[in-house]
Amino acid sequence: MANLGYIGLGAMGGNMADLLMAKGHKVTGYNRTAGKADWLVKKGMPLAATPKAVAQAVDVIFVMVTNSAADEAVMNGPDGLIAGLTPGKIIIDMSTISPAVSRKLAAAVREKGADMVDAPVSGSIITLQQGKLSVMVGGTKATFDKVKPILDDLGPKVTHVGDNGLALVMKIATNLSLAVQMLAFSEGVLLAEKSGIKREVAVDVLTHSVIASPMVVYRGPFVMKMPPEAWFNVNMMQKDMMLAMELGRQVDVPLPTTAVTNEFLTTARAMGLVEEDFATIFKVLAKMSGVNP
């Protein structure tokens, strides 16, 4: 049993903390909006008042927050996570943020004699619940070896991809394809529908065809009915697309399909669909096609 902390108890982070407790670990939590963690507190999770207090109470601290600014906010400052670190402690940052920001934070962590890995995941709450989550890890091999047994409790695939920041590069490279796939899937559905094939038939055929990636299988049915709560909303996906395009410019890789798909996310925001799952790209293309989404 490890003595763990978890900072950022939203939909994904909260479910990870719950799973870690179910695996027998002690977990101390922190969330900016404390009330969102009530369900975990009822299960026995202590809730700390600050990120610093989490760091002081545990040995290994998970972080999963929205973006680079949120990550820096919980890490820095007199009540921040770094302020509570002592030598030997480890941060596992699962947030999808700028690789450059992550490397800067890791350097600050090492100045305290602690260490940090970036460990974003590929998958959703459903993937986590099904035991199919995969974790990418960037950092030293020695620290990876220390935290891998804990990460194995979250999913069956835990991969060390290289130095700090490189797991984030891998996550960004993965996520850009999710949105691009969703747009391509939407094109196929609408082409079939406007040609006279029922939408549900087109979705059934495509989700059982050679294009049926896990993303298409999970989100394809969303073109029939969106989930009541977004798995990964428009803002979250657009943040990742912008990170991808920034990285593409840095390393001179053109990302044409990423750029086009990003414009559909901007359109979704303009249409008031920002809180919906990014699969709402279908609604944007449907309206452009003269189809009732």
pLDDT of residue 11: 86
218: phi > 0 → left, psi -120 to 50 → alpha, else beta; which?
alpha
Integer Cα distance of 228 and 125 in angstroms: 14
- Domain spans of the chain, in order of start: 3-162, 169-288
Per-residue pLDDT of the chain (293 residues; tens, 9 = 90+): 899 999 999 889 999 999 999 999 999 999 999 889 999 999 999 999 999 999 999 999 999 998 999 999 999 999 999 999 999 999 999 999 999 999 999 999 999 999 999 999 988 788 888 888 899 999 999 999 999 999 999 999 999 999 999 999 999 999 999 999 999 999 999 999 999 999 999 999 999 999 999 899 999 999 999 998 888 999 999 999 999 999 999 999 999 999 999 999 999 999 999 999 999 999 999 999 999 99
Question: For tokens 């990285």, what's the residue?
Answer: 247
Nearest CA to 39 among 61, 65, 21, 57? Answer: 21
Please state which CATH number belongs to domain 169-288. 1.10.1040.10
Please state which CATH number belongs to domain 3-162. 3.40.50.720
DSSP secondary structure code for residue 118 in this structure: E
Q: Kindly report the backbone phi and psi dihedral angles of residue 230, in degrees, each rounded to the nearest multiple of 5, phi listed first.
A: -60, 135
- Rounded alpha-carbon distances, angstroms, from residue 155 to 5, 64, 94, 169, 228: 18, 16, 13, 20, 26
Cβ proximity of 164 and 103 under 8 Å: yes
pLDDT of residue 131: 85
The encoded tokens of residue 143 equal: 């620290």
Catalytic residues: 171
Integer Cα distance of 100 and 19 in angstroms: 30
pLDDT of residue 126: 80
Cβ proximity of 204 and 99 under 8 Å: no
Cβ proximity of 5 and 60 under 8 Å: yes
pLDDT of residue 177: 96
Cβ proximity of 44 and 21 under 8 Å: yes
- For the packed helices 166-194 and 199-206, what is the interaxial angle rounded to 10 degrees? 140
